[in-house]
């Protein structure tokens, strides 16, 4: 239609120009906000009218039905923000379970943090640092999950057993482990930028003017695309924020000397994309095992071209279920590793006997 108008008379071209001018003056941000209800949600499970029943399933208080994502038709952004708000409440709920049901204590990190610096926290059993025999350290994957969680989707749509680390914690305590639950996704705080900070970041530059202009143009285009996506995802966001990271350190040698076994569940790590030396790769081959999503039965050897560690089937093709489905096999793997360490003999379980001879590559 636009092409046809441009090929027409001067009057039609004038109409086209006027239409373009009108469209350029429409505030799409405000338009999206008017089409969407306020992003104001309850701050408790009861406010959402949901509870976890005796089976650990999230159910509606009145109807007993599972969680409904599409609460409002044709409002995907609003529904997504509602889902995220519920997820934040569930995160706090899991923290309470870790303390009240699993009897773990919340520990602030860094341990020597001053009052004004960013902080995170982990959860530990009372004997975590003094248990003379064994310690289980639980680390979730990346994304929105926090300490004690495997997958938010499973917690909301399935149950607490499959979606949280609680079964691992209880089993570990029963078997005499000390327990530490890490929280690696809680590694920064987000604060609102002041107007002075925004202006300062725009003004400070000692680059030549021509180079700065080209760089600014690229940055503006990138920011424009990023802002468009962010406004689609969260059109009511008004504040510009910055991230302040929490202090972190590395202890490779200490980890290698003290860690007996590492169980990964459908891990997406890649030794080629990280600075991993030969000694770490060798250590991983001897001490790690990755339960991956696969159609094969549980513990069936799965070949891989990556020279990192043996891979076996988790007994499910669903990534988010791998931690739950491989639960009994992982504790068997740990038990074998502990026995082998105590007898100074490396374990040779069946699932590791058919692994690829990476040295041939």
pLDDT digits (tens, 9 = 90+) for 116-172: 889 999 999 999 999 999 999 999 998 899 999 999 999 999 999 999 999 999 999
What's the confidence (pLDDT) of residue 91? 97
What's the confidence (pLDDT) of residue 360? 30
Q: Which parts of the chain sit beneath pLDDT 50?
A: 1-6, 202, 204-205, 347-361
What's the confidence (pLDDT) of residue 9? 64
Most distant CA pair in the chain: distance in Å?
Answer: 92
Strands 188-192, 241-245: parallel, antiparallel or unpaired by DSSP?
A: antiparallel
b/e sequence 185-206, b meaning 16+ C-beta within 10 Å? bbeeeeeeeeeeeeeeeeeeee
What's the confidence (pLDDT) of residue 160? 98
In 3D, which of 328, 334, 320 has the Cα closest to residue 142? 320
Cα separation values, 328 from 1, 53, 181, 317, 332, Å: 64, 25, 19, 17, 6
Total Cβ atoms within 10 A of residue 135: 20
Separation CA 303–CA 295 (nearest Å): 13
What's the confidence (pLDDT) of residue 129? 95
Q: How many Å from the N-terminal Cα to the C-terminal Cα in the chain?
A: 60
What's the confidence (pLDDT) of residue 199? 55
């Amino acid at each position: 239609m636009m092409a046809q108008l441009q090929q027409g008379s001067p009057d039609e071209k004038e109409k086209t120009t006027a239409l373009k001018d009108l469209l350029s003056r429409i505030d799409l941000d405000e338009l999206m906000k008017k089409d969407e209800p306020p992003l104001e949600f309850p701050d408790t499970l009861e406010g959402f009218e949901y509870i976890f029943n005796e089976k650990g399933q999230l159910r509606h208080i009145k109807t007993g039905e599972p969680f409904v994502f599409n609460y409002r038709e044709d409002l995907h952004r609003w529904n997504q923000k509602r889902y995220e708000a519920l997820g934040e409440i569930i995160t706090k709920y899991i923290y309470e379970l870790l303390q009240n049901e699993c009897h773990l204590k919340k520990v602030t990190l860094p341990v020597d943090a001053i009052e004004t610096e960013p902080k995170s926290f982990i959860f530990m059993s009372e004997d975590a640092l003094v248990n003379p025999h064994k310690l289980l350290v639980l680390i979730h994957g990346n994304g929105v999950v926090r300490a004690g969680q495997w997958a938010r989707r499973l917690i909301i749509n399935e149950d607490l057993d499959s979606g949280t680390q609680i079964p691992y914690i209880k089993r570990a305590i029963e078997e005499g482990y000390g327990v530490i639950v890490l929280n690696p996704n809680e590694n920064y705080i987000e604060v609102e930028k002041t107007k002075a900070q925004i202006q300062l970041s725009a003004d400070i530059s000692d680059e030549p003017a021509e180079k700065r202009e080209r760089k600014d143009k690229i940055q503006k285009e990138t920011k424009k695309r990023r802002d468009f996506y962010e406004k689609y995802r969260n059109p009511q966001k008004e504040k510009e924020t910055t991230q302040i990271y929490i202090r972190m350190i590395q202890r490779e040698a200490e980890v290698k000397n003290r860690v007996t076994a590492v169980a990964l569940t459908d891990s997406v790590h890649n030794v080629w994309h990280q600075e991993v030396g030969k000694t770490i790769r060798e250590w991983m081959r001897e001490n790690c095992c990755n339960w991956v999503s696969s159609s094969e039965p549980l513990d069936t050897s799965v070949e891989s071209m990556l020279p990192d560690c043996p891979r076996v089937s988790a007994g499910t093709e669903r990534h988010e279920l791998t931690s739950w489905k491989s639960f009994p096999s992982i504790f068997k793997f740990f038990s074998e590793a502990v026995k082998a360490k105590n007898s100074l003999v490396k374990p040779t379980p069946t699932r590791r006997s058919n692994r690829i001879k990476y040295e041939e590559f």
